[in-house]
Amino acid sequence: MSPNTLVQEPATPPQPTTTAFDADRFNASVMTTYGRFPIALERGKGCRVWDVDGKEYLDFVAGIATCTLGHAHPALVEAVTQQIQKLHHVSNLYYIPEQGELAEWIASRSCADRVFFCNSGAEANEAAIKLARKYAHKVQEIQYPVILTAKASFHGRTLATITATGQAKYQKGFEPLVDGFAYVPFNDVRALEDAIGDIDEGNRRVGAVLLEPLQGEGGVRPGDARYFQEVRRVCNENGLLLILDEVQVGMGRTGKLWGYENLGIEPDIFTSAKGLAGGIPIGAMMCKKSCDVFEPGNHASTFGGNPFACAAGLAVGKTLLDEDLLNNARVRGEQLREKLNGILQRYPDTFTEVRGWGLINGLEIAGDRDITSIDIIKVTTEKGLLLVPAGPKVLRFVPPLIVSEAEVNEAMEKLESAIASLLG
Ligand SMILES: *Cc1c(COP(=O)(O)O)cnc(C)c1O
């Protein structure tokens, strides 16, 4: 008797598999810390993803500027598959060759000499904050060091990094915050100099300045090169450390490997995470040898720099260079901004500005229009284009760095059709 004889023919043809995702059930067991769009994603390839019902989307979110090589890139798949079969995790009690290789890759292509690995952007910034404080005690001889950060900045969700974040909405309800931070307006060097002068009460002084080269969450606001050059000068004159948060803009996103290359300066310390390993969790804090005051035991991370994450980072780095993706980010970014400027001109009452570098771009909605970024994104999502807001009035465009000319055109057609249908 063949096994098939036991299989009964269904009395009715099989139902089409409706996988309608049960969001209520999901929210019953997952903490509701996120406002989610009502789709559940299941599969991806290149710049496209598919939801559980098989609907296709062009992905201009890329895990929020994280999936550098898009989805299921053969180089990343190959690297992590090989590494997990060989050795995926060991403690930092031992030397990890892949960690050394990735640190060398970064150090040889940046102003930094040394790297500390962790698992996220917030952790990388925490490491930078700890290093700056140790440097203040040991080198600057400041007993209560203050780190200046910018208003409208974003540095993460841990207690120290929400404190560093110059936006009350991330801090509210989580007081008491961490001591030792003060805020200045972005792109305003006079305000920075004034704050350095004002915060000088005996042992309490400014030791470091922490800035994003381009404010991502704060609305895709590029730093002004002249401002950053002045900040560099002020830091030099006062013996302060300049720390750059490159978590969103680093690893090629802006068309340069590091965001600070757009500004004509070098930081003393910078951090990276999101795109560094293309979506495999990783974080890194880089510094010049002159400010590496960490000693054994000062800082650590169980997962930080494990073979799996570092193999992924190395594969992303190699592919960025092999496939000339920095150039692609520049060219596709120009194309994207040109298209966005066309939309701006056709809807001058609705949009006010297009701004960005490489493949991190924003389209700002007029403040007096009764329409938010989420309103527009709900419609683009229905039309098969994923976008992410950067605040209530800015649409953010951060596709994978492999995005093609045709994909940019397709995304812009979907966006314009969403705007047209929303505005009637
Ligand atoms: C996303 C982001 C962070 C936080 O990174 P996590 O990995 O979510 O901790 C920090 N700084 C900037 C600039 C970011 O964009």
**CATH code, domain carrying 275:** 3.40.640.10
Q: Among 322, 349, 370, give the residue marking a domain's end.
A: 322
Question: Would the CB of 120 count as within 6 Å of ligand 1?
Answer: yes
Say whether both 200 and 135 belong to one domain: yes
Stretch 354-364: mean pLDDT: 98
Say whether both 21 and 149 belong to one domain: no
Cα(74) to centroid(ligand 1), Å: 26
Say whether both 304 and 355 belong to one domain: no
- Give the rounded percent of residues in the chain with a pLDDT score beyond 70: 96
Q: Among 322, 351, 368, give the residue marking a domain's end.
A: 322
Is the pLDDT higher at 157 or at 14? Answer: 157
- pLDDT given at position 9: 46
- pLDDT given at position 19: 57
Active-site residue flag, 294: no
Please give the Cα distance from 277 to 271 (Å, whole number): 14
Cα(333) to centroid(ligand 1), Å: 22
Q: What confidence category does residue 88 fall into, taking pLDDT thresholds of 50, 70 and 90? A: very high
Sequence-ordered alpha helix ranges (H) in 114-158? 121-135
Active-site residue flag, 308: no
Say whether both 201 and 302 belong to one domain: yes
Ligand 1 site-directed mutation target among 126, 149, 155, 282, most atoms within 8 Å of CB: 155
Say whether both 251 and 191 belong to one domain: yes
- pLDDT given at position 10: 45
pLDDT tens readout for residues 128-183: 999 999 999 999 999 999 999 999 999 999 999 999 999 999 999 999 999 999 99
Cα(133) to centroid(ligand 1), Å: 20
Report the domain count for the chain: 2
Cα(70) to centroid(ligand 1), Å: 19
* Of the candidate ranges 13-27, 187-201, 391-405, the one whose mean pLDDT is the lowest: 13-27
CATH number of the domain that 409 lies in? 3.90.1150.10
Ligand 1 site-directed mutation target among 159, 248, 398, most atoms within 8 Å of CB: 248
Please give the Cα distance from 224 to 211 (Å, whole number): 12
- pLDDT given at position 2: 41
Looking at every residue in the chain, the average pLDDT score rounds to 95
**pLDDT above 80 for 14:** no
Stretch 39-45: mean pLDDT: 98
Residue nearest to atom 10 of ligand 1 (CA): 155
Say whether both 351 and 259 belong to one domain: no
Q: Which atom of ligand 1 is nearest to the CA of 161?
A: 10
Please give the Cα distance from 288 to 222 (Å, whole number): 24
Looking up tokens 């978590």 gives: 247
Please give the Cα distance from 236 to 266 (Å, whole number): 11
**pLDDT above 90 for 5:** no
Say whether both 115 and 245 belong to one domain: yes
| DSSP assignment letter at 10 | P
Say whether both 115 and 62 belong to one domain: no
Q: What confidence category does residue 424 fall into, taking pLDDT thresholds of 50, 70 and 90? A: confident
- Residues sharing a CB contact under 8 Å with residue 179, sequence separation 6 or more, in sequence order: 144
- Give the rounded percent of residues in the chain with a pLDDT score beyond 90: 95
Q: Does residue 175 belong to any structural domain of this protein? A: yes
Q: Does residue 12 belong to any structural domain of this protein? A: yes
Q: Does residue 278 belong to any structural domain of this protein? A: yes
Cα(109) to centroid(ligand 1), Å: 22
Question: Would the CB of 247 count as within 6 Å of ligand 1?
Answer: yes
Beta bridge partners of 222: 214
Please give the Cα distance from 107 to 91 (Å, whole number): 22
Active-site position among 154, 186, 303, 351: 154
Please give the Cα distance from 50 to 28 (Å, whole number): 24
**pLDDT above 90 for 18:** no
Say whether both 194 and 242 belong to one domain: yes
Q: Among 288, 322, 356, give the residue marking a domain's end.
A: 322
pLDDT tens readout for residues 292-308: 999 999 999 999 999 99
Say whether both 163 and 310 belong to one domain: yes
Q: Does residue 71 belong to any structural domain of this protein? A: no
- pLDDT given at position 202: 86
Helix axes 373-382, 405-423, angle to 10 degrees: 110
- 122 vs 155, 157, 172, CA distance in Å? 6, 6, 18
**pLDDT above 80 for 16:** no
Phi–psi pair at 268, nearest 5 degrees: -85, -35
Q: What confidence category does residue 12 fall into, taking pLDDT thresholds of 50, 70 and 90? A: low
Please give the Cα distance from 235 to 193 (Å, whole number): 9
Say whether both 176 and 105 belong to one domain: yes
Active-site residue flag, 274: yes
Stretch 70-83: mean pLDDT: 98
- 209 vs 114, 132, 274, 396, CA distance in Å? 20, 9, 22, 26
**pLDDT above 50 for 209:** yes
The parent domain of residue 417 ranges over 3-66+324-423
Please give the Cα distance from 271 to 282 (Å, whole number): 11
**pLDDT above 80 for 81:** yes
Q: Does residue 338 belong to any structural domain of this protein? A: yes
Q: Which atom of ligand 1 is nearest to the CA of 283?
A: 7
Nearest to 265 by CA among 295, 223, 304, 299: 223
Say whether both 137 and 218 belong to one domain: yes
pTM for this predicted structure? 0.95
**pLDDT above 70 for 15:** no
Q: Are 363 and 340 in contact (CB under 8 A)?
A: yes
